[in-house]
Amino acid sequence: MDYKGDIFYIDQVTAGKVNLFSFLVDRHKDNTYNLAFRICGSHEEAEEITQDAFLKAFRSLKSFRKKSSFGTWLYRIVYNTAISFVRSRKQGVLALEDFPADFADFLAENLNEEEAENEYRNSLINFALQKISEDERGLITLYYYDELSSEEISEITGISKSNFKVKLFRARQHMIQIIEKEEKKKMIYHE
């Protein structure tokens, strides 16, 4: 069945056809889940956050003004839910203290070269993401994974465009420092 656009399904759902909300969930579940996962760093929590955000979106669907896209509106709900969730949690996620220096070798033994390289980079990015603050994680995800414009990110996060640029710059610097440090450790390990 062809997707008829967010607005069509929103109008149908607000008119009482609750089951059609599943089309909106199907359409946006992966991107919203990814955002929640990058911010909280755990699959279980990401699912909880995304479910909670979709429920909130459903309950306040009538207040959606259609000025911005549904995606941006939903992202704002997911972003705020995820940030609040991480801040309210008593303990941080059990992130690795150090990235294993021999991880690339382990992957090379079990996967082909391309897969191993992709897996290594993805794991290193996840490691670095867990070392920066939740706000920075959100900005990095929205900018690099979702490739949203500064206007859209500003609308989602509620921070001004100029402030966004400064924050993104800092977040990027933090990430690069962590990655470079781990890459150096890997090189030393191989020497």
Q: Which of 44, 47, 69, 66 is nearest to 156 (CA)?
A: 69
CB of 13 to another protein, least distance (A): 10
CB of 22 to another protein, least distance (A): 5
**Helix (H/G/I), strand (E/B), else coil: 130:** coil
Binding-site string for another protein from residue 50 to residue 69, where x marks contact by CB under 8 A and - marks none:
xx--xx--xx----------
- Match 């082909």 to its residue by tokens: 112
Q: Which helix (H) or strand (E) holds 54?
A: helix 43-59
- Distance between CA atoms of residues 55 and 57, nearest Å: 5
Within positions 130 to 189, which residues make up the interface with another protein, using CB under 8 A?
140, 143-147, 150, 165-166, 168-169, 172, 175-176, 179-180
Q: Which of 19, 88, 91, 112 binds another protein (CB under 8 A)?
A: 19
**Helix (H/G/I), strand (E/B), else coil: 136:** helix
Could you tell me which residues come within 8 angstroms of residue 98 by beta carbon, excluding any fewer than 6 positions away?
A: 185
Rule CB under 8 A: which residues touch another protein?
A: 18-19, 21-22, 25-26, 29-34, 37-38, 43, 46-47, 50-51, 54-55, 58-59, 118, 121-122, 124-125, 140, 143-147, 150, 165-166, 168-169, 172, 175-176, 179-180
